[in-house]
Structure 1
Amino acid sequence: MAAITGVVITLNEADNIDACLTSLNRICDELIVIDSGSHDDTVARAEALGASVIHQPYLGDGPQKNVGPRAATHRWVLSLDADERLTEEAVIAIKTLNLESDKHDAYALRRRNFIGSRWVRRCGWYPDYCIRLFDRDRTGFSESRQHASVQAKSPQRLDADLEHYSFANLGELFSKASGRFSNRAAKIMYLKGKRANALSPTLHGANAFVRKYLFQAGFLAGSDGVSVALSAGINAYLKYAKLLEFQRDAQVLNAEDFDRVW
């Protein structure tokens, strides 16, 4: 098997970093953590598990995720978020790849998204293919500072999963949707010149809920399906409501720090 460098970006990920790096250690010959100023013991934990830590103020999603691959010793990079872990089937699938003479420039894994310990299989949350393994000489993350993805030209999907523990509980699902997720999205839209009208929050919020609950079969996921659909609707409603507020209320606009979007 070709040598692989594992890369993770972090900010206060002490609760996640051990499990993430332990799973990467099963495959990777080198571990690199890009930390953007953690105040907990993320860095100490990462170093204890053999990772090299690069201290880098946060640049936005894509630029930050490209720091590690540029510093990697090996061509092939396995990039995980700190709240992701490789499953046993993913470890086996990657170990069987012939990366040294491969025509594919990247590989995608199915992602199991969790609330607490509950795997949500509806609402568009599964299979949720994400490219995580790629040849840094041929591709890398886009420079988008929000929701960046690997811009591979000939990726291949693997028949294997990774696990994503993105929300510790329902409270976190809703607090993230109503807080920093919607705040950041509203700022980005305002800076890009996008504008909302009085109907925008309600229409976008209703559309997001219906898409998750009906078209992506959230109704088959019980109360968690309702929760995911509601959080998506709240996030969509609030980001347009906040955008509209920037347009209508000079006091709110002037009090907002648009230099701290990320």
Structure 2
Amino acid sequence: MKITANIITLNEEKNIEEVIKSVQTVCDEVLVVDSLSSDKTCQIAESLGAKVIKQEYLGDGPQKAFGAPFAKNEWILSIDADERLDLNAIEEIKKLDLENTTYDAFSFARKTYVGKNFIKLWYPDRVARLYNKRRCGYSTAKGHAKVQTQNICDLEADMLHYSYDDYAHMIRTTEKFIKRGAVLAYEDGKRANVFDPFIHGVGALFKALILKGGAFHGINGWNVAVISAFSSYMKYALMLEMQRNEK
């Protein structure tokens, strides 16, 4: 099919082969936008027929946007190195009439795993990843890793997301995202008050355990709920700290 896969990478030698083979089932071109990896990511990608473009990391959204002009096709499938197309996604994509569709983009339901554990409370976690670059695309603003259109068709198809090796890995990664989220919010002019850490932390816990049913998903539901609550709490706590350091 006339679709270009766009994969952003940084030291993804353990993932790059599987994700490229996954997208090659529906894409006739694979682009890898690499953030100056120090491992064998680029060599492996090129050996599998991918075109590698090196670019210092700009942020998730801008990095995805950077690769679009290099694609030979109008339709781009944006996918991360730790993601794979499920069999139902491959079949759904093959059925699409992309030349005549009126939609700007198509979304997938994302199934996220911690190790071998499927995290039910995060499902379906809809993400628009197949899009027409002449109609829409990713914002070049930092922190905006979403395709900028409302004209999206939701496919009955899954994207598999092997996000964390285990809960220890999840905690380490969450710490990085807490800091990044706090800095981006602060730079966007957002400010926190003394009640925000508590309000957002408790709110995240309630949403995960009650509204999304995590309390009934066993230990995985509780683990993810507590980590999510901690993440929300600390984001606003760090924003408060930055505000106090202003003075």
Same fold, judged at TM 0.5 (above): yes
1:152 is matched with 149
Describe the SS at the equivalent of 1:28: coil
Q: Tell me how far apart the structure 2 counterparts of residues 248 and 134 of structure 1 sit (CA, whole Å).
A: 42
User: Which one is further off, 7-16 or 152-161?
Assistant: 152-161
Please list the CA deviations of residues 27-83 of structure 1 after superposition, one character each: whole Å capped at 9, or x if unmatched.
111110000111111111111111100001111121110122211001111110111
Describe the SS at the equivalent of 2:158: strand
2:37 is matched with 38
2:173 is matched with 176
Does 1:207 pair with 2:203? yes
1:229 is matched with 225
Displacement of 1:116? 0.6
- Structure 2 contact 138–144 (Cα < 8 Å) conserved: no
Displacement of 1:249? 4.0
Displacement of 1:189? 2.2
Describe the SS at the equivalent of 2:99: helix
Describe the SS at the equivalent of 1:100: coil
After superposition, residues 113-192 of structure 1 pair within 5 angstroms as: 113-122=112-121, 125-177=122-174, 179-192=175-188
1:80 is matched with 79
Describe the SS at the equivalent of 1:8: strand
* Matched letter for residue 198 of structure 1: V
Displacement of 1:195? 2.4
- Structure 2 contact 84–160 (Cα < 8 Å) conserved: yes
Q: Tell me how far apart the structure 2 counterparts of residues 39 and 71 of structure 1 sit (CA, whole Å).
A: 23
Describe the SS at the equivalent of 1:9: strand
* Matched letter for residue 156 of structure 1: C
| Matched residues, number | 247
Identity of aligned residues (%): 41
* Matched letter for residue 120 of structure 1: I
- Structure 1 contact 61–144 (Cα < 8 Å) conserved: no
Displacement of 1:193? 2.8
- CA 154–190 in structure 1, closer or farther in 2 if over 3 Å, else same: closer
TM-score (norm 2): 0.95
TM-score (norm 1): 0.90
After superposition, residues 90-109 of structure 1 pair within 5 angstroms as: 90-109=89-108
Note the residue ranges of structure 2 that are not aligned, 5 or more in a row: none
Describe the SS at the equivalent of 1:34: strand
Describe the SS at the equivalent of 2:137: coil
**Structure 1 segments (4+ residues) deviating >4 Å:** none
Displacement of 1:247? 2.4
- Structure 1 contact 196–244 (Cα < 8 Å) conserved: yes
1:58 is matched with 57
1:260 is matched with none
Note the residue ranges of structure 1 that are not aligned, 5 or more in a row: 254-262
Displacement of 1:130? 0.9
Displacement of 1:115? 0.6
Q: Tell me how far apart the structure 1 counterparts of residues 108 and 56 of structure 2 sit (CA, whole Å).
A: 29
2:14 is matched with 15
Describe the SS at the equivalent of 1:198: coil
Q: Tell me how far apart the structure 2 counterparts of residues 199 and 20 of structure 1 sit (CA, whole Å).
A: 43
Please list the CA deviations of residues 199-232 of structure 1 after superposition, one character each: whole Å capped at 9, or x if unmatched.
2222221111111111111112111111111111
Displacement of 1:104? 1.4
* Matched letter for residue 141 of structure 1: Y
